[in-house]
């Protein structure tokens, strides 16, 4: 009996303990929710100010790309206008190495001369063959006329053998005439086909030469607007392009922004992009004149993020910012800018 009483008491104690734990556990979520809500409020109020780096840009600009000129897929930068210099419309700003395409032009010019000479020599040769064929045809016709006269002599006036020879000579003359007609036709057709093929070869050589000459001009790039030249950066090394670099075709090596319609282009990390919206006011400070601030506003945020290889594996959104100019600050495209959104932490 004492053993049963002890077991019953122990079971009752465990039941009461388990029940009290369930009550406490049921009360915890509401407490956790209050703590989480307070934590979010505190986090929102303690976010550090968002600072962006950007550069002064222009709505109007000229992108200087490595042209597709010839068969090469990379070209070496031979000369560039010093960075920061103001380029004028029509001024040469970048020259790429022309040696490869210049050698090709020499070969094409030699090929064109060879095709032209071949066209002339074959034309003269075939014309001579046609003249000879026409002469042979006339002679064959005369031979046939003579054979016709001989074959027309009645058999009673000449020996049987002579009559038979005359008939045979007439058949032979007819056959020779047919051969001469066919020979003239073949030579004439050959001349037409040969001259046509040489004309095609010459046209092709001329076209290739024109394209190469055009490519030679494309390797010397001129400015289409007035503005400072700003060197581009290699997307992998983040190193500025310089004279002597070999760059693949299609890569942008420099930019010439116009001196009007200026804006600031900044980049925001994907983690912070939700803290910005179009229309937000911003404060701008130029690295060259940090003591003076300019007022601006976010005009646009790109919809799709892009990777900046030199900045790591994060994704970045492009931010376009308009600003109000200040006579105290001289602003030139390419200047670095520190951007601080106003009220972006709320």
Query: Is 277 within a domain?
Result: yes
Residue 163 CA: distances (Å) to CA of 149, 181, 281, 308: 12, 27, 121, 104
* Average pLDDT estimate for 88-103: 95
Strand partners, 220: 95
Statement: residue 254 has pLDDT above 60:
yes
pLDDT score of 69: 86
The pLDDT value given to residue 3: 37
Residue 14 lies inside a defined structural domain of this protein: no
The verdict on 203 and 160 lying in the same domain is: yes
- Given 230, 257, 284, the domain boundary residue is 257
Residue 318 scores a pLDDT above 90: yes
Does some domain include residue 290? yes
Q: Does residue 5 form part of some domain?
A: no
* CATH number of the structural domain spanning residue 331: 2.40.30.170
* Position 137 in a domain: yes
* Average pLDDT score over residue span 255-273: 93
Domain extent, residue 320, equals 262-341
The residue-averaged pLDDT of 7-27 equals 42
Q: What are phi and psi of 76, to 5 degrees?
A: -90, 135
Residues whose CB falls within 8 Å of the CB of residue 323, separated by 6 or more in sequence, listed in order: 262, 263, 264, 284, 294, 295, 296, 297
Same structural domain, 172 and 273: no
Mind listing the pLDDT tens digit for each residue in 181-217?
A: 999 999 999 999 998 998 999 999 999 999 999 999 9
pLDDT-derived band at 310 (thresholds 50, 70, 90) equals confident
Select from 198, 233, 257 the last residue of a domain: 257
Taking Cα atoms as reference points, which of 48, 52, 50 lies closest to residue 321?
Answer: 52
Angle subtended at Cα 234 by Cα 255 and Cα 288, rounded to the nearest 5 degrees = 60
What is the Cα–Cα distance from 162 to 152, expressed in whole angstroms? Answer: 12
Inside any domain, residue 56: no
Q: Is-above-0.85 flag for pTM? A: no
Residues 206 and 110 in one domain: yes
Task: Report percent pLDDT > 70 for the chain.
Answer: 85
CATH of the domain at 248: 2.40.50
Domain co-membership, 107 together with 213: yes
Cα separation, 226 vs 224, in Å, equals: 7
1-10, 141-150, 262-271: which has the minimum mean pLDDT?
Answer: 1-10
Binning the chain into helix, strand and coil, the percentages to the nearest 5 are 50, 25, 25
Pair 226, 92 in one domain: yes
Q: How many domains does the chain have?
A: 3
- Same domain membership, residue 122 and residue 203: yes
Q: Would you state the structure tokens that stand for residue 337, as one six-digit string? A: 């800018």
46 burial via Cβ count (<10 Å: 0-12, 13-18, 19+): exposed
Considering the domain boundaries, does residue 316 fall inside one?
A: yes
Q: What is the pLDDT of residues 40-79, one digit of tens each?
A: 445 444 567 899 999 999 989 999 999 998 888 999 999 9
In a domain, 111, yes or no: yes
CA separation for the pair 63, 340 (Å, rounded) = 29
Same domain as 185, residue 119: yes
Q: Are residues 165 and 206 in the same domain?
A: yes
Q: Say yes or no: 82 and 228 in one domain.
A: yes
346 pLDDT exceeds 80? no
Residues 78 and 144 grouped into a single domain:
no
Whether 249 and 145 map to the same domain: the answer is no
Are 107 and 202 part of one and the same domain?
yes
């Amino acid at each position: 009996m004492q053993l049963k009483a002890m077991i019953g008491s122990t079971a009752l104690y465990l039941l009461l303990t388990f029940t009290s734990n369930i009550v406490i556990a049921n009360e915890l979520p509401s407490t956790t929710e209050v703590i989480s809500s307070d934590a979010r409020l505190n986090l929102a109020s303690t976010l550090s100010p968002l600072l962006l780096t950007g550069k002064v840009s222009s709505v109007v600009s000229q992108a200087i790309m490595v042209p597709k000129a010839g068969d090469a897929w990379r070209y070496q930068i031979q000369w560039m206008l010093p960075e920061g210099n103001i380029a004028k419309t029509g001024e040469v700003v970048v020259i790429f190495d022309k040696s490869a395409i210049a050698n090709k032009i020499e070969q094409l010019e030699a090929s064109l001369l060879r095709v032209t000479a071949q066209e002339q020599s074959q034309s003269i040769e075939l014309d001579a063959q046609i003249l000879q064929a026409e002469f042979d045809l006339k002679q064959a016709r005369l031979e046939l006329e003579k054979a016709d006269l001989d074959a027309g002599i009645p058999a009673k006036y000449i020996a049987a053998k002579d009559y038979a020879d005359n008939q045979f000579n007439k058949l032979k003359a007819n056959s020779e005439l047919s051969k001469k007609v066919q020979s003239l036709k073949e030579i004439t057709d050959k001349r037409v086909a040969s001259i046509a093929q040489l004309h095609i070869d010459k046209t092709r050589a001329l076209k290739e030469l024109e394209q190469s000459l055009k490519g030679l001009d494309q390797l010397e790039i001129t400015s289409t607007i007035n503005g400072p030249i700003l060197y581009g950066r290699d997307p992998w090394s983040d190193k500025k392009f310089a004279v002597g670099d070999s760059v693949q075709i299609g890569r942008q090596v420099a930019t010439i922004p116009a001196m009007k319609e200026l804006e600031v282009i900044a980049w925001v990390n994907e983690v912070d992009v939700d803290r910005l919206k179009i229309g937000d006011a911003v404060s701008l400070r130029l690295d060259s004149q940090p003591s003076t601030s300019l007022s601006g506003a976010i005009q646009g945020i790109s919809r799709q993020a892009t990777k900046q290889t030199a900045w790591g594996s994060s994704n970045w959104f492009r931010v376009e910012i308009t600003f109000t100019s200040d006579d105290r600050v001289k602003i030139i495209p390419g200047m670095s800018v520190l951007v601080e959104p106003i009220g972006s932490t709320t």
